[in-house]
Structure 1
Amino acid sequence: MIRITHRISLDDDEIEESFVRASGPGGQHVNKTETAVQLRFDVRRSPNLSDDVRLRLERLAGNRLTQDGVLILVADQYRSQRRNRDAALERLTELIREASIPPTPRRPTKPTFGSKQRRLEAKGQRSAVKRLRSNRHED
């Protein structure tokens, strides 16, 4: 069981991991070891996510989400499988935590009196400039 927040926790069987060879430079050992981790999490079929969290997570995932709703995270910055695995899990938990925070509603505000005055003065100045540029300006 992976604990995300006090309300959300994921079963271990919801997360599928596969190990692949990491790209980039390396030594003699690089072509023999599979240290990069490809973590797969089915967002749409997870029973532990509410609908609103699921929608926000899909929006946050962006192009890391497949057409079937599977989130794919690849971690290959470390040389060991274990550290890459931990990094991928940490990124997944951070994404779900971020998706679990509901957006704050926008509170409509009114422009201040001073900002209205400045806007009207700027409009008057622009108007005067344009009036002076015209062929038939009125004095």
Structure 2
Amino acid sequence: MQPAGDDVAGDLVVTRDVVLSAADLRWRFSRAGGPGGQGVNTTDSRVELSVDLRHAPLREQDRDRLLARLSGRLHDGVLTVVAADDRSQRRNRRSARQRLAAVLRDALAPDPPARRATAPSRAARRRRLEAKRRQGAVKALRRAPREE
């Protein structure tokens, strides 16, 4: 297997356990906006890469996790990434594959461990209050003297 993004037509390796076949990927090409030189009006360099996560050959727990975590990005269960950064369609295809693999990899990653609530130590509270007193003393020296 090749690393994600090296080949623009083969299977997409997301993780060691998750590989999307080329048949599951849907490509769409269109004209990209912005500068492009002579070929700007003739080259379909903008790339959209889509995968239907509901029907992709994934383990059930992976499918459920992807659908839950990417619910805001899905349209009818289809995840789409767009690449139009480059003038070359081939480079945009490579970029789209890398972006899709990165989005899926991030969504499949385990949750970070829950944060344990901690309280500052007595010494830390004392240092904080001393620092506040020092800062207050410095600011007091900047004030104009009071007239009585």
TM-score with structure 2 setting the length: 0.67
Q: What is residue 32 of structure 2 aligned with on the other side?
A: 22
Q: What is residue 79 of structure 1 aligned with on the other side?
A: 87
Describe the SS at the equivalent of 1:28. helix
CA apart distance, 1:113: 3.5
CA apart distance, 1:116: 9.1
Q: What is residue 8 of structure 1 aligned with on the other side?
A: 18
Paired-residue identity, % = 39
Q: C-alpha deviations, 1:89-129, integer Å up to 9, x for none?
A: 000011111112111231422313338956xx8xxxxxxxx
**2:53–2:66 Cα contact (<8 Å) kept:** no
Aligned residues: 118
Is 1:38 equivalent to 2:51 in the alignment? no
Residue 52 of structure 1 aligns with an amino acid whose one-letter code is R
Q: What is residue 54 of structure 1 aligned with on the other side?
A: 67
TM-score with structure 1 setting the length: 0.71
CA apart distance, 1:4: 1.3
Moved more, 106-115 or 32-41: 106-115
Distance in structure 2 (CA, Å) of the matches to 1:115 and 1:46: 56
Residue 93 of structure 2 aligns with an amino acid whose one-letter code is R
Q: C-alpha deviations, 1:14-41, integer Å up to 9, x for none?
A: 1100110011123232111111111111
Is 1:65 equivalent to 2:78 in the alignment? no
What stretches of structure 2 of length at least 5 have no aligned partner? 1-10, 130-148
Give the CA RMSD over aligned residues: 2.6
Describe the SS at the equivalent of 2:35. coil
What stretches of structure 1 of length at least 5 have no aligned partner? 122-139
- Give structure 1 regions of 4+ aligned residues with deviation exceeding 4 angstroms: 115-118
